[in-house]
Structure 1
Amino acid sequence: MTTRPARPRRPERQPWSLERLLHERALALEHALDKSTHSSYSSALRSYLSFCDRQHFTIEPTEQTLSLYVIYECHHIEPRSVDSYLSGICSELEPFYPNVRKIRSSNLVSRTLRGGKRLYSQPVKRKRALTSDDIDLVFERLHCSTKYDDLLFLTQLLTGFYALMRLGELVWPDRHDLRSFTKVSRRTTVLLTTHSFEFTLRTHKSDRQFSGDSVLVHDDSLAGPRVVELFKTYLALRDSAFPCRAELWLRHDGSIPTRSWFIRQLRTMFLDDPLVCGHSMRAGGATALALAGVSGSLIQATGRWSSSAWELYVRKHPVLMQALALAEQRQPQPRV
């Protein structure tokens, strides 16, 4: 008769003091939001507290107070932003006033915000999405450059465009207090094949499981072989200059590229076009995939969007996109 091996006993756990439990919970609550999100939410809360102080209202959220705050702010900022402010206020006040979200969704507050949007909203002024022609132009100007930073910028631009990356996933914030090495892509995560390259995003904005995600660019995709070869060229140059550094993206002086540095390079390429910004890269990539007939679900997965918000990035009218896609299909194929 065979007997099952006894399961190892779980190590005995020691009880924590109430002070430690409260301390550890406070740390977890502090890190529940990304630093940049927490900064935005704190700004919204300061706006609400200033309003209450100015109007001599108590800070306890009520339908009356929140609805009056909404219409006041709608007179001073874009009403669509007031919606985001309310999300931040609810997040910051919820530990102290657990019913704040119920108050936020009440009929009085919701209808006041809807009316404020109808009365005071201005047309959305979206930045221009980069096109494939824009990418070709930058590539022709920089791919033969002997400057390290030119190659870095070009590699990041093309990788971000074709992999639908947020600018914040490629560079560091300008504000030092928002920088975190947990978001820096590592050289050791890079996987190279003959026809593709891949690296890991350790964490990103929509990563709810905090497990990271992979960025993969293949030469059979819309990107073509030039992006893969460009990445390999940059990687060889980077490894030669900084063989012992862990960061994937590094400038010629060994610093991690920042948002302001990338934007300066971008505006140099497009002659200070005010309609070109950091979002132009991701929006352009999503639009290019849509024009190529890629399904919405694949675009959403490629860009790591947690919802259908990617549709806001496609900067062409659906009818125009349909016409362009049909025109491409009707073009005669070259004979072999």
Structure 2
Amino acid sequence: IHNFPIDPTEETLSFFVVYMSHHIKPDSVGTYLSGICHQLEPYFPNVREARRSSIVTRTLKGCKRLKGTPIARKRALSLNDLAIIINDLPDAPPHDTLLFTAMITSGFFALLRLGEMTFPDDPLIREWRKITRRSSVVTSDTQYEFFLPSHKADRYFEGNRVIIRKQQFQHNPLALFLRYLKSRDTLFPLCSPLWLTSKGEVPTRSFFMRRLRTYFDRGVGGQSMRAGGTTSLAEHGIPPSIIQ
């Protein structure tokens, strides 16, 4: 009806990209286009060459900028946010409260990801080899440390030694960690994992998020812990090379 040629050309594919970007997300248009090329290739052998042409790729890139949706990022935690959680500790907190507080302060100051301290909610994708062991913990008067077996940036699966200093601006994560460690060792002295709930299980992501939701809205997520620690270091003048 638009008097376009039947053969898929650079121009018709470019028009298709513009048209579809007004109705669906531009990120999905590229997937649609690949599927269309796969279906048309037996009848139009040059369709992939047209798909790879500069006009089509630039049109798709421009539509992503023009019609793309912004990435919804979670808010980074701040030192004041940590203070809200720490100051809420009762005189005799239950074990799970000590666990949550130790996890969020350790994750914040060591720039850990939530997945490096918890199990996924799906039992099928849990890996015990990624769990930090209690036997790897070393404490002193000025710091505590433990071995992180694996993480996203560890391409060679060598693991890393995580060291967290006692005095972190206005907070003392060492004291919180030692309170948790004492409770953990009293309840489960023979268990291997460092992080354990009152049921003797490795905490899951939902365990952590349920407790996080009691303090903050959905604008704060699991990644807010690592992002907050990074932001805090930068605000206090720590060079990017050290933060990395």
TM-score (norm 1): 0.57
| C-alpha RMSD over aligned residues | 3.1
Q: Give structure 2 stretches of 5+ with no counterpart.
A: 1-9, 32-50
Kindly tell me: are residues 159 and 69 of structure 1, through their superposed partners in 2, closer, same or farther at Cα, counting changes over 3 Å? farther
Q: 2:177 aligns with which of 227, 231, 245?
A: 231
Q: 1:263 aligns with which of 189, 194, 209?
A: 209
Deviation digits for residues 130-163 of structure 1, max 9, x if unmatched?
Answer: 1111100100002634210000000001011111
Q: CA deviation at 1:261?
A: 1.1
Larger CA deviation: 177-186 vs 214-223: 214-223
Quote the residue 1:280 is aligned against: 224
Q: CA deviation at 1:72?
A: 9.3
> Does 2:100 align with 1:153?
yes
Q: CA deviation at 1:257?
A: 0.5
Alignment partner of 1:269: what SS?
coil
User: How far apart in 1 are the matches of 2:195 and 2:85?
Assistant: 19
TM-score (norm 2): 0.77
Residue 91 of structure 2 aligns with an amino acid whose one-letter code is C
The structure with higher relative contact order (CA 8 Å, sep 6+) is 2
Quote the residue 2:72 is aligned against: 125
User: How far apart in 1 are the matches of 2:129 and 2:109?
Assistant: 24
Q: Give structure 1 stretches of 5+ with no counterpart.
A: 1-62, 85-103, 301-336
Deviation digits for residues 84-143 of structure 1, max 9, x if unmatched?
Answer: 9xxxxxxxxxxxxxxxxxxx9974664244123123212333221111111001000026
Alignment partner of 2:163: what SS?
strand
Kindly tell me: are residues 115 and 162 of structure 1, through their superposed partners in 2, closer, same or farther at Cα, counting changes over 3 Å? same
**Percent pairwise identity:** 45
Q: CA deviation at 1:191?
A: 1.1
Kindly tell me: are residues 207 and 241 of structure 1, through their superposed partners in 2, closer, same or farther at Cα, counting changes over 3 Å? same
Between the two proteins, the alignment pairs up a number of residues equal to 216
Residue 223 of structure 2 aligns with an amino acid whose one-letter code is H
Q: CA deviation at 1:299?
A: 1.1
The within-5 A match list for 1:32-181 is 79=26, 107=54, 110-142=57-89, 144-181=91-128
Deviation digits for residues 8-35 of structure 1, max 9, x if unmatched?
Answer: xxxxxxxxxxxxxxxxxxxxxxxxxxxx
Higher helix share: 1
